[in-house]
Amino acid sequence: MTDTPSLRLDVWLWRARFFKTRALSGAHIRKRGARITRNGLTRRVNKPGTSICAGDVVTLAQGAHIRAVEVLGLGTRRGPADEAATLYRTLETDG
């Protein structure tokens, strides 16, 4: 067991404003999945309740784009866009 703070993937994607609602976030993960890289190991997930923590890299498809972001923080709420932008750092963009 670890003491590292963690959060459900669907909640984090909603807080970071990747999706308008938590329900949309969860549905996207169930249908299209995501990849989480932690300590150099990448795994594909399709469960919205998958735990993520700061330092993880989340990769997901949004429309025709692939987004890879490093999780910098978990946040405590779904705040304004400038607050949400502090939760992650974009690593690559596929257009």
Number of domains in the chain: 1
CATH at residue 44? 3.10.290.10
- Domain encompassing residue 48: 7-94
pLDDT for 3 equals 78
In a domain, 2, yes or no: no
Strands 41-45, 51-52: pairing is: unpaired
12-63 pLDDT, tens digit per residue, is 999 999 999 999 999 999 999 999 999 999 999 999 999 999 999 999 998 8
In a domain, 85, yes or no: yes
CB 51 within 8 A of CB 71: no
What span, in angstroms and rounded, lies between the C-alpha atoms of 94 and 83? 24
Residue 47 tokens read as: 């469960």
In a domain, 1, yes or no: no
What span, in angstroms and rounded, lies between the C-alpha atoms of 30 and 54? 22
